[in-house]
Amino acid sequence: MTTDVASGPENPEKPPANIDKLNANIARIEELTQRLVQALSHKGTPNPEVEAPGPEFFAKAAAAYWAEMLDNPGKLIEQQVSYWGKALRHYVEAQHALAQGRLEPPADRSPKDRRFANPLWDTHPYFNFLKQQYLFNVEALESAVAELQDVTPLERRRIEFFTRQIIDMMAPTNFLATNPDALERALETEGESLVRGLENLVRDIELHRGELLVTLADRDAFTVGENIGTTEGSVVFRNRMMELIQYEPTTEKVRERPLLIFPPWINKFYILDLKPANSLIKWVVDQGYTLFVVSWKNPDASYADVGMDDYVEEGYLAAIREVKAITGQDRINAVGYCIAGTTLALTLALMRKRGDRSVGSATFFTTLTDFADPGEIGVFLNDDFVDGIEREVAKKGYLDKFFMGRTFSFLRSNDLIYGPAIKSYMMGERPPAFDLLYWNGDGTNLPARMAMEYLRSLCQANRFATGNFEICGESVSIHDVHVPVCAIACETDHIAPWRASYAGVREFGAKDKTFILAESGHIAGIVNPPAKDKYGYYTNAGAMEGDEDAWKAAAEHRRGSWWPAWAAWLEKRSGKLVPARVPGDAAHPALSPAPGTYVVETPGA
């Protein structure tokens, strides 16, 4: 019988038991470092104008601060003394505890923050000192910004937003040496977690051609058409702008009037068809509707001159025409989601000008039509950003999905940037197999002309709400929307704020208007199937005449999904029951099975 002898001073010739693992990790780090350098070499020439606000913004913020301080120097002294006093008192208390031989932090009066959930943030003197000093800094910065005077509401919102970005970026959790979770994991795995984290970092930079964008979901866990986007149907029409999908009926009878959904072309349509359990598309079909959905083309540089006119003529009007031809109906019901809802409103206004009554009712999901207050996204709508985007798209012919993805991520930076980066790059964790986050990372490009028309004419100039938006040779207004309308907005939506959505719908010319306020945000509030019984909603039978807060105060809160309430509204506007329709007809043969070909294309790949 033999016994392995451990290495150590008494047996110096035998290597440590984990030396092979250590050497292997070192070799992997060297290999990954070479890949990292190679990946970074593919990064394009940086465009500072789309990376951060211009110098004028920071100069204006600094000037406003110092002007306030010069007018009221006592306020400056009060702010600084308060900050210095807290920071110094905390330092003295920490030193006093150590001098007495107590390895414990001083009293911690800081607010709870889920970033600091590890018990070491409260019990370990080093980590607790870092946390408290960071939170003192946060409080001082927020106080200084809150007390700024002589700035416009938009300027204040921008200063607050970008100050928060700096605050979030500098959190001690974002750095290895000051993150106890990451350090503990590194010790537990003998550094393996850091090697895996480096692998994840290199993978993301390679994937985005030298740019860093955190992968939020396991890219190998889902395949569109296999385990997401699987509702049965066929592409029955295709042009350069879109594929038109008609879904197989699941009921013997269907409503006479077909339903056509226009999803946003900033992302892909299968957000409404993730898994069968939370698929709005499947649910609508199961309610007895002939359902059509548009799947937009993911544009490349050849689409540079495609504008809003093209989306309306070759997207909306073409789809409406083909749905009518396939079903033999003179009128259809339409749905628009986000930017597709905005463009549906433009289309309806245009159709009224042309005397076209093809749409019987319209439903809007999280849609802005009045951009007087665009919410958080408004911080990116000043000329310092938009001018940079204009130069970017003029060079490339399209707005790369990378910029859109990153911009929306910064609206929830802790959830969509720093939190996932910590887990992936410092903890070495594999991204989760989460269908919603997978879809979130599967973005699309925007044609150059369309992107600038949307940003300049709709977002910045707000021309549709002011009555002079030019589309397809007509000047249209928000008041030209006269069909019966149902609008669903989401209470915590950071992309299309519900109050702004309400304000736009209130200005529609339609007499028949229903507004539903769903709980949760831009996606979760819409993709909320009845079986989950997760989020509720608000309804108000009164007219949309007062302001949004008065509407909500008088509204009734109901538990569960808003889907059945919408279905009841839609049913009254969908005609009698008729035999179910199979996809297409002799003039519209099946071109490919759903989800089609456009949804899986990756331009430039």
- Active-site amino acid positions: 338
Q: Cα–Cα distance between 438 and 270 in angstroms, integer?
A: 11
Count of H-run helices and E-run strands, the chain: 22, 17
Q: Which residue type occupies 157?
A: R
CB 214 within 8 A of CB 421: yes
CA distances from 50 to 45, 53, 459 (A): 12, 8, 17
DSSP per position, 203-252: HHHHHTTT------S-TTS--BTTTBS---EEEEEE-SSEEEEEEPP-SS
Beta bridge partners of 262: 336
Burial group, residue 590, by CB count within 10 angstroms (0-12, 13-18, 19+): middle
Q: Cα–Cα distance between 91 and 101 in angstroms, integer?
A: 16
Exposure class string for 196-208: b at 16+ Cβ within 10 A, else e? bbbbbbbbbbeeb
Q: Where are the alpha helices (DSSP H) in 426-562?
A: 435-440, 448-453, 463-466, 498-506, 548-553
CA distances from 500 to 335, 402, 493 (A): 19, 27, 11
DSSP state of 481: -
Q: Cα–Cα distance between 194 and 25 in angstroms, integer?
A: 9
User: Where do we find the tokens 């989020």?
Assistant: 535
CB 418 within 8 A of CB 196: no
CA distances from 172 to 116, 133, 138, 178 (A): 9, 10, 12, 5
- Which residues are CB-neighbours of 90 under 8 A, at least 6 positions away? 106, 129, 132, 133, 136
Q: Report the Cα–Cα distance between both ends of the chain, in Å, rounded.
A: 61
User: Where do we find the tokens 């802005």?
Assistant: 368
CB 527 within 8 A of CB 272: yes
CB 264 within 8 A of CB 367: no
Residue among 169, 361, 177 at smallest CA distance from 255? 361
User: Where do we find the tokens 């211009």?
Assistant: 54
Q: Which SS3 state, helix, strand or coil, does residue 320 take?
A: helix
User: Where do we find the tokens 């069909």?
Assistant: 483
Measure the CA dihedral 219/220/225/229, to 10°: -50
Residue among 206, 388, 400, 407 at smallest CA distance from 301? 400
CB atoms within 10 A of CB 187: 10
Does the CA dihedral 553-556-559-562 come out positive or negative? negative
